[in-house]
Amino acid sequence: MTFAAITAAVAELDRPPDADIASSAAAARYIADGCLVDGPVGRVGLEMEAHCFDPADPIRRPSWQEITDVLRWLSPLPGGSVVSVEPGGAVELSSPPADGVVPAIDAMACDQAVLRSAFADAGLGLVFLGADPLRPPERINPGGRYRAMERYFDASRGGSAGAAMMTSTASIQVNVDAGPRDGWAARVRLAHALGPTMIAITANSPMLAGKFSGWQSTRQRVWGQMDSARCGPILGVSGDDPGTDWARYALKAPVMLVHNPDAVAVTRYVPFTDWVDGRVLLGDRRPTVADLEYHLTTLFPPVRPRQWLEIRYLDSVPDAVWPAVLFTLVTLLDDPVAAELAAEAVQPVATAWDTAARVGLDDRRLYLAANRCLAIAARRVPAELADPMHRLLDDVERGRCPADDFSDRVIEHGIAPTVTRLARGGL
């Protein structure tokens, strides 16, 4: 979703995309000055991914041609979402920004219904889980960027995690305004601090490639196995200056891809700061502003500043609860009273990322934080979201996340039959 064109930062800083960057200090200023935009809160955009399955043969991965044949007839969607296909064939809806979380949910639900119907007509189905529970990783998207990313991961120590991330995970991404400048530090800290609690609430990926992983959110585990310089949280020691924190993070992160002119994988560890300061040349040249912007798109922290805030830590979850999940997260960020209460509620578990992914609400501190956060949001929920909020409240009060329901069904029915029923809209 685009709140503001990424080129706006280039124009404001009077640096054309093909301009060279003089030094790491200049790159740091550029990143820090352009990463957030001062303004009110209130706009919300959503990005929702689902795995594509053939219900008649759930072990088979539908081809690129099959999926794109369905999508050829889906533009425009009534809610304005853009459809794209992830490397492994997961289908993503990306909404335009809406004025408030409820309109954003309504538009996404409308577009999702159209998408489901189109895939059902083609004999395919969409499954909303954080990780593909059945099939081994496999890339079907032929795009050059993804081919180069695959090569990058193959050459790195995190190759298997990189392959799983690219082709076997699915998430919900929430995009919100950065807000007023004087509140950026607190807002970014809260977006991070909410992460473990929201992961525990939404964990929905207990299996990967046909096996139980021992984690409630295997998707989060996969991200945790990757290079922390690319995928870890960006906060510095105090978190008082998000722009500086993001600049430091981005410059230390290794370069993944270089346009030369097509995407080319960098198969050795080269921090961007080494490239920009001339210690290493990639593509036989120094980086430009466009190279820096491209580098930023290859960094995947759980909260990423892109003039707005991308919140990237939620598993893909079922229809029964996702509207309540999104309402809760946005309310805890955008409502000033709710934000203050939420910051207090999650403080004891603000860095418990792995614990949340591994055991979810079985951790007593996460259980308490989750129930407190949902109670804060439930007091503000509109009537049209009362049913999904009631369902979510009941699940969390019982200490259950979506992964528990999925695991129970697999144990009772078997994994392939469970996936088949989900792909057909059952369960």
Would you say residue 291 lies in a domain? no
CA distance 279 to 373: 48
What pLDDT sits at residue 12?
42
Would you state the pLDDT for residue 156? Answer: 84
Residue 248 and residue 24 in contact, taking contact as beta carbons nearer than 8 Å: no
Average pLDDT over residues 190-216: 98
**Residues comprising the chain, all counted:** 427
pLDDT digits (tens, 9 = 90+) for 348-392: 999 999 999 999 999 999 999 999 999 999 999 999 999 999 999
On the question of pLDDT at 193 being above 60, the answer is yes
Alpha-carbon distance values, 47 to 14, 70, 93, 326, 355 (Å): 31, 19, 6, 11, 25
Domain that holds residue 420: 25-253+299-424
Question: What integer pLDDT is reported at residue 16 of this predicted model?
Answer: 83
Q: Which helix (H) or strand (E) holds 19?
A: none
- The CA distance from 72 to 140, in Å, is 17
How many Å apart are CA 343 and CA 366, to the nearest integer? 13
* Domain at 240, CATH number: 3.30.590.20
pLDDT greater than 70 at residue 10: no
Q: What is the dihedral of CA 414, 204, 113, 385, to 10 degrees?
A: 130
Torsions phi, psi for 319 (to 5 deg): -55, -30
Within-domain flag for 363? yes
208 lies in some domain:
yes
Closest CA to 78 of 114, 120, 25: 114
- 273 falls within a domain: no
Has residue 406 been placed in a domain?
yes
In a domain, 230, yes or no: yes
> 254 with 266: CB under 8 angstroms?
yes
Domain total of the chain? 1
Residue 1 pLDDT: 47
For residues 401 and 394, give the distance between their C-alpha atoms in angstroms, rounded to a whole number.
10
Backbone angle region of 80, left / alpha / beta, with phi > 0 → left and psi within -120 to 50 → alpha: left
pLDDT of residue 157 exceeding 80: no
Predicted confidence at residue 15, as pLDDT, reads 66
Confidence (pLDDT) at 18: 85
How many angstroms separate the CA atoms of 350 and 79, rounded?
35
**DSSP run (H or E) holding 266:** none
> Which residues, 6+ apart, have CB-to-CB distance to 64 below 8 Å?
85, 89, 140, 141, 142
For the cut 70, the answer to whether the pLDDT of residue 236 exceeds it is no
pLDDT for residue 227 is more than 60: yes
Write out pLDDT tens, residues 302-333.
Answer: 999 999 999 999 999 999 999 999 999 999 99
- What's the mean pLDDT when you consider all of the chain? 94
Q: Please give the average per-residue pLDDT across 248-258, as a whole number.
A: 97
Inside any domain, residue 293: no
Q: Using pLDDT thresholds of 50, 70 and 90, give the confidence band for residue 7.
A: very low
Q: Please indicate, yes or no, if residue 276 is contained in any of the structural domains.
A: no
Please state, in angstroms and rounded to a whole number, the distance separating the CA atoms of residues 358 and 363: 9
Does pLDDT of 97 surpass 90? yes
